[in-house]
Structure 1
Amino acid sequence: MLRGMYTASGAMQALQRQQEMLSNNLANARTPGFRADQASLRTFPEMMIHQAATNERTGIRPAGNVGTLATGVFMQAATPNFAPGSITETGNATDLQISSIDGVPMFTIFHNTGEGTGIEGETLYTTNGQFAVDGDGILRTTDGDQVLDEDGNFMNVGNDDFKVSPEGVVTRGNGEQVGRLGLVTTNNTEQLERVENGLYRAPEALAQGNVKVDQGVLELGNVAIEQTMAEMNAGLRQFEANQKVIQAYDRTAEKAVSEIGRVR
């Protein structure tokens, strides 16, 4: 009986984690570059049930397997879905949207880990093209990380008066060409490790790819709102079903203690 309670409670914990993930997806549906997570629910290893009856006449316990018994489920991981998101036109020069037919396109950025010195940090990747220009003319993410060019240098655009070609070449308002954005692609998204705030780490530097850039356009999150809400409703019904299973076990246990075990 307790095994059944553990199985149901384990399912409730997995469903709770799934609901938290789906809620986070909904909350970031309009976040630029956000990639929705997908839950991976797996079952624990099944247990083999052996025949335990003994032949009363011979005293021999026959061998044999009755079957298997599932021991519950768990949420193994939440993996990002890198399908493209919805597009909105902003008209801002610092808003960039990228696309590619060679794989998942990403910007290369330098993530600061020091006290804002810009010295200590690491190279990471993002699909969020919402940028801003700081007082030194450096193109940065909304979290303050520097955007890199194809050579790994900080992209200095001077001010908001700059143009970006479809190939990612940046030209200042005075006509001075300052370099090409560090645009990369990958077909192996499983190697990407989500860090924070829409940033990803790769075990090796990603290859520069054939990426198209649109300026004044922003890609929002790729959350399918209706589907996510339907999944949340289905998860809630499953949670309630497992809750009723535990209540049934609880009533059975109470009856066993108060009635079956009563001394007459």
Structure 2
Amino acid sequence: MLEGLYSAASGMEAQQQQFDAISNDMANMDTPGYQSTIVGFHDLLYSNGGYGSNVATGAGSAAAVVGRDQTQGELQTTGQPLDVALQGEGFIEVRRFDGSTGLTRNGRLQLNANRQLTTQEGMLVQPPVTIPAGVPLNQVSIASDGTISTAGKQVGKISLVDVPAPDGLVADGDSVFSATAASGAIRPAKNAALQQGALEASNVDLGAEMAKMETAQQEYAMGSQA
């Protein structure tokens, strides 16, 4: 009996993790470059039913974030000169406020008070790029390889990078990720390009998320009645 309760409880906890992932995905449907979460389930250890029993009892299931759906999001034209849509595999390298390195696909960029290129949250694009004073934004040109020019003169270059195993990245919020031992070290991206004046839309599929939510609710309800 206790084994059955443990199994139901672990199953409900797994579905709660699924709920959380779905809710986060749906909340980020309008976040440029956001990639939906992939949640996988696995069986917990089996144990014998007790002394003299040959019946193996399952301990339920557990959820684990497997990674991110790396399907390319739709490119949406904005006409904003500092917006860049990332195409292909890769990330824009940024520097967090604590000095550490972050990776993002959110190409909605802006200038800070020092006319340095930053994310909407204020994290500096790497390496630092400063747009000269007096240069209108409509005279800023960003090439597909990240090279930034004004009046035909190069003023900087956005670093496009990737990692050997993107599923090993850790999400830190604000669509920024950290490299880990599981992801491998950050390296220059070979298959990434930027499109100026556009943004990559989130690849969250609302219909698919609603279907997953309905399934998770049914599984959770079954567990609560066990």
Q: Which residue of 68, 79, 94 corresponds with 1:91?
A: 79
Which residues in structure 2 correspond to 1:35-74 (within 5 Å)?
Answer: 35-49=35-49, 52=52, 66-74=54-62
Highest relative contact order (Cα 8 Å, sep 6+), 1 or 2? Answer: 2
1:171 aligns with 2:149: yes
Aligned ranges 1:65-214 → 2 under 5 Å = 66-77=54-65, 79-100=67-88, 104-113=89-98, 121-148=99-126, 153-158=127-132, 160-161=137-138, 162-172=140-150, 174-203=151-180, 204-214=185-195
What is the SS of the residue equivalent to 2:54?
Answer: strand
1:243 aligns with 2:224: yes
Task: Give the C-alpha shift of residue 80 in structure 1.
Answer: 2.4
Q: After the TM superposition, which segments of 4 or more aligned residues of structure 1 sit over 6 Å from their partners?
A: none
TM-superposed CA distance for 1:78, in Å, is: 5.5
CA contact (8 A) 2:76 2:201 kept: yes
Say whether residues 1:232 and 2:213 are aligned partners.
Answer: yes
Q: Is the Cα contact below 8 Å between 1:133 and 1:160 reproduced in 2?
A: no
Aligned residues: 218
Q: Given residue 197 of structure 2, which amino acid in structure 1 is its aligned partner?
A: G
User: TM-score by structure 1 length?
Assistant: 0.76
RMSD of Structure 2 on Structure 1 (CA): 1.9
Q: CA shift at 1:208, angstroms?
A: 3.8
Structure 2 counterpart SS, 1:66: coil
User: TM (normalized to structure 2)?
Assistant: 0.88
Q: Measure the CA separation in 2 of the matches of 1:221 and 1:68.
A: 44
Residue identity matched to 1:112? F
Query: 2 CA distance for matches of 1:186 and 1:9?
Result: 37
SS of the equivalent of 2:211 reads helix
What is the percent sequence identity of the aligned residues? Answer: 22
Could you tell me which residue of structure 1 aligns to residue 32 of structure 2?
32
The letter of the residue matching 2:61 is V
Residues 163-222 of structure 1 show CA distances to partners (whole Å, capped at 9, x for unaligned) of 1112221111x2221132101133411332222211111242322424221111101211
Gaps of 5+ in 1: 53-64, 114-120, 246-264
Following TM superposition, by how much is the alpha carbon of 1:96 offset from its aligned partner in structure 2, in angstroms? Answer: 0.2
Q: Does 1:9 pair with 2:9?
A: yes
Q: Which runs of 5+ in 2 are unaligned?
A: none
* 1:223 corresponds to 2:204: yes
Compared CA separation, residues 98 and 220, structure 1 to 2 (3 A): same
2:41–2:64 contact (8 Å) kept in structure 1: yes
